[in-house]
């Protein structure tokens, strides 16, 4: 190959690619007297220019639209576009003049790699493409007026859509500005639950209205997300007062009837195959598809995507199609953090790279592999920002300590065990001949401990019971199990135990994995119906699925991936006004080790539970006295958002005596700004006794329904304070006092001459305790002084 000449490269590689297109380029040599006005779809070899012959001149309907500079296969091709530029400027005939360029579309190729540049706008950059454009594609590109489209964005304000939140407007503006700058690979990072899909539908509408893009592919990696996106398009109200699909065509792949609610009146339209195989400039549409299906359409079956998500069995009607690279102007990849560059599904990245289109990735959890594909993060809105702004709920941490899951497990000789045949599922009972040790990673892989699973569920039941007593409703619970393997399914065991422990009927608990019948219908029922209240999954509900009423998320499976961890937690952050949801609970069944493992790398910052034990009055006092002010401002803001979500109309009227319209949510969002711009008045309001009284004792909203069952408490749990159990915290505190009483003046004063105690000594003690991980926010030094 290294000795291959340029002529061989052109004959065996470049010509082959040009002829493979639909319609194929007709390759002819240049000759004197050639009437180029009669050339419809021709690549003319050695076409003369004032600076030498171009390797190929591409004529479409008598117009010279493209130049190809060819090199032998061993030569790099990106840098040789300079020669094509020279030919474009020195041709004897052209279709326009763009800063001296007379031919708009330039290519360079060594037969394997192809680079392309549209010279008409000076901010355009060269880019690699997978094959040459067809004559139809070049004719369509010539008609595009990107400058007019960019002006449309400036002349039509984003705020026309009054349903957009401020950060969504910023995301759309950042995307449009990046596209106008000529960028074609963009990444938008928005926290789970902040409305990425609605924001994206709004963005797509503007792209279609501006004609910046006419054919748009919306890619997802699960059928449930495709159905969810189709519903979003169908329900979207345009600035003209129409539904989206009344102004633009919206298509999807084939769905089943049960994928949608029975009462839903719209029926998704399946994309006609010619829309893919024969793109037409008159077509303006959105196509929602799984990436698995599109991969099969491009490269055929057996491409490595089968079985990755458990949804591939529903793509058995997909076949390989002849799709040109200009079939879409824009590709949006939803939840693009998932697998697009992993070795086992490298074909997914190949699918996205195949099209010559603007590519936008959407994710809540950007990582190195997504940035490598979509390149530039043009907008970022984090979980912490969304919680601070009141668009997401925050969370509480509950650690469940399981010896089995934290320490090795020993089985002694003579113990009765069950042996399950993994092929048949047959179980026989036997006595263990020799002692055996199982590590924590062996649990649910080599051995299951039913008693451990039951006691964990019983512990969760205690919290569910308490939640029901406090709120009048049973919490919607999502449990992540280790696996759903035939005959040894941990998911099945958890479902069975939940049904027995909660004892509220067979429909109360549901397994939702890729192996259940009609998983999309199961997800829909879990989201919308009174039952099931508990869902057990492995991966299927880990990302993208919108279930706002989730209040408990339980980790019975270990997690090693930061991205997966954040996606799982993101299932619980969504607002749900129907139940006045104020927060959700995270149950770490590995003694808090999962939370600690991700503490430094996750966008989720699990705050210590100190804010739960401090009164509103004390929080405000700390803010006024500038005692860790930034921390307490954030804590106070979160509490205000909880009040806003849980208060009654009567409470709103009471708050109206202090803030405009009693809008506690708006007050929370503006609090930090108020502290900067109106400091004195803000502090006066916070210190107002009447305002504090309403904050402490505001009337709660009435609950929509009650569930009166109780679950027996059998296993105790422990609150975490600064990462320690209470008894461990007190033990270490006691040891600290005993070991340091001689060195710390404040302790000596308390022990030997308590009459010498004063505020200066107290402050010195506070500083020493903070340095040794005993912060005053837990009020332990106050208890300490009382003890003396």
Least confident of 156-165, 572-581, 583-592, 723-732: 723-732
For the segment(s) 394-403+448-606, the CATH number from 1.20.140.10, 2.40.50.90, 3.40.50.300, 3.40.190.10 is 3.40.50.300
Q: Using alpha carbons only, give the angle 774, 779, 783 rounded to the nearest 5 degrees.
A: 100
User: Tens of pLDDT along 173-212?
Assistant: 999 999 998 889 998 988 888 888 899 999 999 999 999 9
Q: What is the average pLDDT across 528-533? A: 92
How far apart are alpha carbons 255 and 469 in whole angstroms?
41
The token pair that represents 520 in the structure block: 């999309």
Helices marked H in 91-134 — which ranges? Answer: none
pLDDT at 775: 53
Q: Which of 47-51, 242-246, 586-590, 771-775 has the highest mean pLDDT?
A: 47-51
How large is the angle between the packed helices 146-155 and 196-210, nearest 10 degrees?
120
How far CA 603 is from CA of 293, 438, 568, in Å, comes to 32, 34, 12
Q: Which of the residue ranges 48-52, 115-119, 303-307 would you say has the lowest mean pLDDT?
A: 303-307
pLDDT value of residue 705: 25
pLDDT band at 157 (very low <50, low <70, confident <90, very high): very high
Cβ-in-10-Å burial (0-12, 13-18, 19+) of 753 comes to exposed
Q: What percent of the chain has pLDDT over 90?
A: 37
Is the confidence at residue 263, as pLDDT, over 70?
no
Alpha carbon 712 to chain centroid, angstroms: 38
Range(s) of the chain covered by CATH 3.40.50.300: 146-389, 394-403+448-606
Residues 141 and 761: their CA atoms lie apart, in Å, by: 78
Write down the pLDDT at residue 97: 95
Q: Whole-angstrom Cα distance, residue 372 to residue 347?
A: 16
3-state secondary structure of 292: helix
Quick: pLDDT tens for 218-246.
998 878 788 888 888 988 999 888 999 89
Tens digit of each residue's pLDDT (9 = 90 or more) over 395-407 = 888 999 988 888 8
In Å, how far are 55, 506, 545, 783 from 533, measured between CA atoms? Answer: 68, 11, 16, 42
Pair of tokens at residue 246: 């009344």
Residue 728 or residue 374, greater confidence: 374
Sorting pLDDT into bands at 50, 70 and 90, what band is 707? very low
Least confident of 244-258, 418-432, 711-725: 711-725
Q: Given this model, what pLDDT does residue 722 score?
A: 42
Sign of CA pseudo-dihedral 757, 763, 767, 773: positive
Q: Is the pLDDT of residue 96 over 90?
A: yes
Main-chain phi, psi angles of 43, to 5 degrees:
-110, 110
Q: What would be the CATH architecture of the domain defined by 6-143?
A: Alpha-Beta Complex (3.90)
Which of 38-42, 209-213, 372-376 shows the lowest mean pLDDT across its residues?
A: 372-376
pLDDT at residue 507 is higher than 80: yes
Judge contact between 384 and 573, C-beta under 8 A.
no
Higher pLDDT, 737 or 479: 479
Alpha carbon distance 591, 401 (integer Å): 4
In 3-state terms, what secondary structure has residue 418? strand
For residue 511, what is the enclosing H or E element?
strand 509-511
CA distances from 485 to 422, 489, 521 (A): 9, 5, 21
pLDDT of 660-669, one tens digit each?
A: 888 888 898 8
pLDDT per position as a tens digit, 102-134: 999 999 999 999 999 999 988 888 999 999 999
271-280, 428-437, 571-580, range with the lowest pLDDT? 428-437
- If one compares 676 and 43, the residue with the highest pLDDT of the two is 43
Identify the pLDDT of residue 154. Answer: 92
pLDDT of residue 781: 35
Query: For all residues of the chain together, what is the average pLDDT?
Result: 81
CATH code of domain 146-389 = 3.40.50.300
Other Cβ atoms within 10 Å of 151 Cβ, number: 13
Count CB neighbours of 218 within 10 A.
28
pLDDT in tens, 613-670: 567 888 888 888 888 788 888 888 888 888 887 788 888 899 898 988 888 888 988 8
Q: By the 8 A CB rule, do 384 and 162 touch?
A: no
pLDDT value of residue 767: 65
Q: What is the reported pLDDT for 609?
A: 39
Give residue 101's pLDDT.
96
Token readout for 620 is 């405000």
* Residue 740: per-residue pLDDT: 61
pLDDT value, residue 779 = 38
Q: What is the DSSP string of 325-392?
A: TTS-SEEEETTTTSSTTSGGGHHHHHHHHHS-SEEEEEESS--HHHHHHH-EEEEEE-HHHHHHHTSB
- The residue ranking higher by pLDDT, 432 or 552, is 552
Q: Strands across the sheet with 583-588, in order?
A: 394-399, 583-588, 550-555, 476-480, 534-537, 509-511
The C-alpha angle 232, 554, 634, rounded to 5 degrees, equals 75
787 is written with which tokens?
């003890």
Q: Is the pLDDT of residue 316 over 90?
A: no
DSSP 271: P
pLDDT band at 340 (very low <50, low <70, confident <90, very high): very low
Helices 196-210 & 223-235 angle (0-180, nearest 10): 60
SS3 content of the chain, % helix, strand, coil (to 5): 45, 20, 40
Count CB-CB contacts under 10 A for residue 603: 21
Block residue for tokens 């039941």: 461
Closest CA to 570 of 362, 384, 376, 340: 384
Which pLDDT belongs to residue 76?
A: 76
| CA neighbor of 87 nearest in space, from 118, 126, 53 | 53
Confidence of residue 519 (pLDDT cuts 50, 70, 90): confident
Split at pLDDT 50, 70, 90, the class of 41 is: very high
Say how far residue 275 (Cα) sits from the centre of its chain: 29
Domain ranges in the chain with CATH number 3.90.1570.30:
6-143
CA 499 to chain centre: 32
Percent of the chain residues past pLDDT 70, beyond the cut: 80
Asked whether the predicted pLDDT for residue 520 surpasses 80, the reply is: no
């Amino acid at each position: 190959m290294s000795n291959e000449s340029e002529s061989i490269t052109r004959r065996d590689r470049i010509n082959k690619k040009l002829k493979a297109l639909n319609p194929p380029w007709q390759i002819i040599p240049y000759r004197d007297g050639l009437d180029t006005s009669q050339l419809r779809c021709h690549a003319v070899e050695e076409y003369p220019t004032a600076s030498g012959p171009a390797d190929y001149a591409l004529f479409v309907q008598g117009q010279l639209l493209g130049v190809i500079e060819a090199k032998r296969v061993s030569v790099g091709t990106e840098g040789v576009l300079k020669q094509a530029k020279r030919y474009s400027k020195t041709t004897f005939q052209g279709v326009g003049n763009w800063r001296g360029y007379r031919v708009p579309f330039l290519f360079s190729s060594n037969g394997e790699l192809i680079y392309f540049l549209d010279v008409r706008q000076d901010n355009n950059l060269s880019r690699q493409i997978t094959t040459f454009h067809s004559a139809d594609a070049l004719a369509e590109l010539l008609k595009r007026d990107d400058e007019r489209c960019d002006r449309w964005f400036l002349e039509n304000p984003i705020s026309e859509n009054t349903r957009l939140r401020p950060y969504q407007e910023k995301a759309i503006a950042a995307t449009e500005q990046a596209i106008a700058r000529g960028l074609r690979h963009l990444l938008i990072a928005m926290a789970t639950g902040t409305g990425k899909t609605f924001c994206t539908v709004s963005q797509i509408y503007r792209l279609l209205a501006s004609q910046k893009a006419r054919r748009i592919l919306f890619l997802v990696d699960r059928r449930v997300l495709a159905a969810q996106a189709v519903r979003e398009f169908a329900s979207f109200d345009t600035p003209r007062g129409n539904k989206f699909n009344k102004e633009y065509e919206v298509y999807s792949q084939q769905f089943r009837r049960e994928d949608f609610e029975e009462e839903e009146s719209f029926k998704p339209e399946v994309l006609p195959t010619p829309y893919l195989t024969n793109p037409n400039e008159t077509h303006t549409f959105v196509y929602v598809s799984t990436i698995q299906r599109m991969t099969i359409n491009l490269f055929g079956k057996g491409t490595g995507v089968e079985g990755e998500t458990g949804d591939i069995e529903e793509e058995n009607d997909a076949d390989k199609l002849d799709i040109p690279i200009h079939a879409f102007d824009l590709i949006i990849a939803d939840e693009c953090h998932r697998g697009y560059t992993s070795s086992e599904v490298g074909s997914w990245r190949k699918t996205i790279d195949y099209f010559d289109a603007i590519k936008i990735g959407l994710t809540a959890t950007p990582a190195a592999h997504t940035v490598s594909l979509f390149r530039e993060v043009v907008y970022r809105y984090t979980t912490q920002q969304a919680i601070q702004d009141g668009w997401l709920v925050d969370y509480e941490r509950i650690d469940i300590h399981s010896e089995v899951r934290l320490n090795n497990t020993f089985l002694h000789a003579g113990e009765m065990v069950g042996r399950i045949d993994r092929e048949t599922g047959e179980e026989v009972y036997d006595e263990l001949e020799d002692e055996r040790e199982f590590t924590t990673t062996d649990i649910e892989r080599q051995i299951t401990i039913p008693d451990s699973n039951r006691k964990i569920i019983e512990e969760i039941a205690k919290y569910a019971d308490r939640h029901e007593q406090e709120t009048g409703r049973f919490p919607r619970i999502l449990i992540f199990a280790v696996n759903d393997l035939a005959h040894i399914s941990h998911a099945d065991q958890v479902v069975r135990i939940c049904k027995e422990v909660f004892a509220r009927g067979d429909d109360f608990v549901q397994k939702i994995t890729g192996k259940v019948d009609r998983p999309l219908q199961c997800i829909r029922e879990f989201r919308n119906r009174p039952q099931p209240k508990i869902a057990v999954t492995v991966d299927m509900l880990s990302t993208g699925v919108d279930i706002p009423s989730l209040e408990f998320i339980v980790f019975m499976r270990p997690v090693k991936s930061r991205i997966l961890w954040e996606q799982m937690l993101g299932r619980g952050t969504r607002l749900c006004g129907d139940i006045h949801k104020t927060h959700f609970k995270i149950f770490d069944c590995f003694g808090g080790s999962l939370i600690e493992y991700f503490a430094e790398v996750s966008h989720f910052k699990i705050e210590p539970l100190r804010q739960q034990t401090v009164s509103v009055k004390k929080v405000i006092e700390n803010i006024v006295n500038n005692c860790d002010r930034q921390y307490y401002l954030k804590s106070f803001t979160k509490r205000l958002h909880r009040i806003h979500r849980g208060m009654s109309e009567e409470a709103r009227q009471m708050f109206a005596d202090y803030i405009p319209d009693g809008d506690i949510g708006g007050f929370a969002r503006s609090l930090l700004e108020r502290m900067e711009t109106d400091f004195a008045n803000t502090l006066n309001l916070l210190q107002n006794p009447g305002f504090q009284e309403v904050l402490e004792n505001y009337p709660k909203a009435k609950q929509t329904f009650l569930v009166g069952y109780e679950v027996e408490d059998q296993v105790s749990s422990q609150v975490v304070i600064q990462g320690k159990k209470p008894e461990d915290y007190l033990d270490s505190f006691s040891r600290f006092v005993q070991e340091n009483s001689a060195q710390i003046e404040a302790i000596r004063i308390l022990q030997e001459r308590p009459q010498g105690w004063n505020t200066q000594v107290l402050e010195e003690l506070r500083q020493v305790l903070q340095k040794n991980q005993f912060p005053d926010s837990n009020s332990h030094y106050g208890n300490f002084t009382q003890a003396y």
